[in-house]
Amino acid sequence: MAKKVLIVEDSPTVRKSLETVIHTAGHKPVSASNGKEALEILEQENHGIQIIISDINMPHMDGIALIKNLAEKDIKIPTIMLTTESSADLIRKAREYGAKGWLVKPFLGEQILATIDKLALP
Ligand SMILES: [Mg+2]
């Protein structure tokens, strides 16, 4: 089943590789380059996003601030954090705000797709 996936990532290279993996698997990627842009997309009516895959370190609004905002706005879309940071403190914080999972870069395409299959909204 095709899923609409919001990618939030400031690195054009990583963003492009995520888009390719997701698109090739038959899903529909939508991209934002920081948390602020992601919120703008999520505030649009009928955005239909079923899962969010977000980087942590980004300008303007980082991944932790994004997930905090989602919790405050009561937006219940499963969110996976994707980062080079494996700091226990960041993981704890992200989970506290409702992050459903954590993938450490460099990620494998299969890990991303398995996560989408497992966690995306129907
Ligand atoms: Mg980054």
Predicted confidence at residue 84, as pLDDT, reads 80
Mean pLDDT of 107-118: 93
Residue with token string 């919790």: 71
Predicted confidence at residue 110, as pLDDT, reads 94
> What is the distance in A from the centroid of ligand 1 to the CA of 12?
10
CATH of region 4-119, choose from 3.40.50.2300, 2.20.25.90, 3.20.20.370, 3.40.50.150: 3.40.50.2300
- Give the whole-angstrom CA distance, residue 5 versus residue 50: 6
Q: Are 51 and 121 in contact (CB under 8 A)?
A: yes
Query: Coil, strand or helix: which one is 28?
Result: strand
> What is the distance in A from the centroid of ligand 1 to the CA of 27?
23
> What is the distance in A from the centroid of ligand 1 to the CA of 17?
14
Q: Are 8 and 54 in contact (CB under 8 A)?
A: yes
Residue 96 is which amino acid?
E
> What is the distance in A from the centroid of ligand 1 to the CA of 80?
14
Among positive and negative, which fits the CA dihedral 69, 71, 76, 77?
positive
Whole-prediction pTM value?
Answer: 0.94
> What is the distance in A from the centroid of ligand 1 to the CA of 31?
14
Q: Are 7 and 32 in contact (CB under 8 A)?
A: yes
Q: In this predicted model, what pLDDT tens digit does every residue of 15-44 receive, in sequence order?
A: 999 999 999 999 999 999 999 999 999 999
Q: Report whether pLDDT(87) > 80.
A: no
- Give the whole-angstrom CA distance, residue 13 versus residue 10: 9
Kindly give the residue spans of alpha helices, DSSP state H, lying in 2-108. Answer: 12-24, 35-43, 63-72, 88-96
